[in-house]
Structure 1
């Protein structure tokens, strides 16, 4: 599996791509060309085209959850072929707000149906033999919520069954990064996690930092790539127990 970061809050030095407070990945796996989230604007597409990504060959889109910083770019994909499969939780396009601001998906399912084939599921689904869309994450392992009252049921993730264990791909982890890890184990039957990339939703929360740090210490994870909604304090806390790598636009990973 090959992962390319198209959009993140950060852009890697000397690469000259655009960054925005959002997230999008381009994933190639078993002949599939997958967009995981689409960022806030057309930045993911502008960056991707500059990197040589042929968007006309995209066959799958995965929506991690229905916030506009992960789905805003959907409105810049209407020119693509109509047989693209879009995986999402059925509640992803419900209205969402934060501190009075509308942060909902700008393109709702009714409109997406005009261009793409929607696959809405609360249950896990295989995208390839080794890559799984997790559906609705069970929330029974993590004690500290990422944000008080943040009951975003549509928050989901993907997990790749690699040679060294599970590699988890998450958008924002509203459902809790520990819950995502444990649910990935439950769904796949594989107990070892080799790596994680994505937003952990660890923002100015010392209790959460301690809980996730202590959890990661017990997991023997090879490497993590926390980004987007993971602040500096969280990264420092986690770096004490696991190898952390820098993330930014144009980062490429190959996972076996």
Structure 2
């Protein structure tokens, strides 16, 4: 079984009175393991978790979908919370080895705030480009191949070799192979949402898709781009979607004409059995 709670999203559910911000953070219970998937931009996920009765210090692991600020900068507030509480376990941090690259966009720094050395004081670092099973049926997908569509650059990487386009090779996702099929959990899908769905099937061996939850990075998509995604999802057997964060209204509207698109926002809890 897998239970997912949305702690941070651009949207909040009506009549819940939680906080939103343009970022993403999910709390995932899988069997007897608990994971935090991304930390958003600020301490919003911590405040929402407390109101939702979720104790973040009980986590077995933190997973970074990729190294952008709206998915990782909240970690500074998380380790501040750890400093004030006696942890019952030392969590593991799962991420791609390139997650700490110096990323910029439009002259702004958009990479991680805390590097490997600082985070190594709080977490056991498990940096891997290869898929790994984090809990029974729950897979970290590692580096996503371009099986369906090419990656697109988002900003720049600056290092000792100079400046180059950032194709977000560190962008990954989670996939849970449950009784009803795959539940795919994405952060921003810079790897391409179709590539992620395809790779999740390869890694898990499960081709039935129960749900896809997260940011699809479908912003100002052309009609041709929307049509290509819809055509692939149909061929893959997708029926249900929970698009959020970096999926704009036009994309949600187009997807809703073909699939069951469910409401997303802070406070939402979804259970898969």
TM range (shorter): over 0.9
The answer to whether the 8 Å contact 2:181/2:209 transfers is yes
Counterpart position of 1:110: 117
Q: Distance in 1 between matches of 2:150 and 2:100?
A: 27
* RMSD between aligned residues: 1.5
Q: Distance in 1 between matches of 2:262 and 2:149?
A: 24
Q: Distance in 1 between matches of 2:171 and 2:42?
A: 20
Alignment of 1:1-256 (within 5 A): 1-78=2-79, 79-80=81-82, 81=87, 83-143=90-150, 145=152, 151-206=167-222, 207-256=224-273
User: CA shift at 1:189, angstroms?
Assistant: 1.2
Q: Distance in 1 between matches of 2:228 and 2:30?
A: 33
Q: Distance in 2 between matches of 1:146 and 1:104?
A: 14
Describe the SS at the equivalent of 1:77: helix
User: CA shift at 1:146, angstroms?
Assistant: 8.1
Aligned residues: 256
* Poorly superposed stretches of 4+, deviation over 3 Å: 143-150
The answer to whether the 8 Å contact 1:146/1:201 transfers is no
Q: Distance in 2 between matches of 1:208 and 1:37?
A: 27
The answer to whether the 8 Å contact 2:152/2:167 transfers is no
Q: Summarize deviations over 1:41-99 as a string: whole Å, max 9, x none.
A: 00000000011111221121000000010001111122433611000001001100111
User: CA shift at 1:219, angstroms?
Assistant: 2.7
The answer to whether the 8 Å contact 1:216/1:241 transfers is no
Residue segments in structure 1 that go unaligned for 5+ positions in a row? none
Residue segments in structure 2 that go unaligned for 5+ positions in a row? 156-164
TM-score, length of structure 2 as denominator length: 0.90
Describe the SS at the equivalent of 1:194: strand
Describe the SS at the equivalent of 1:106: coil
Q: Distance in 1 between matches of 2:270 and 2:234?
A: 23
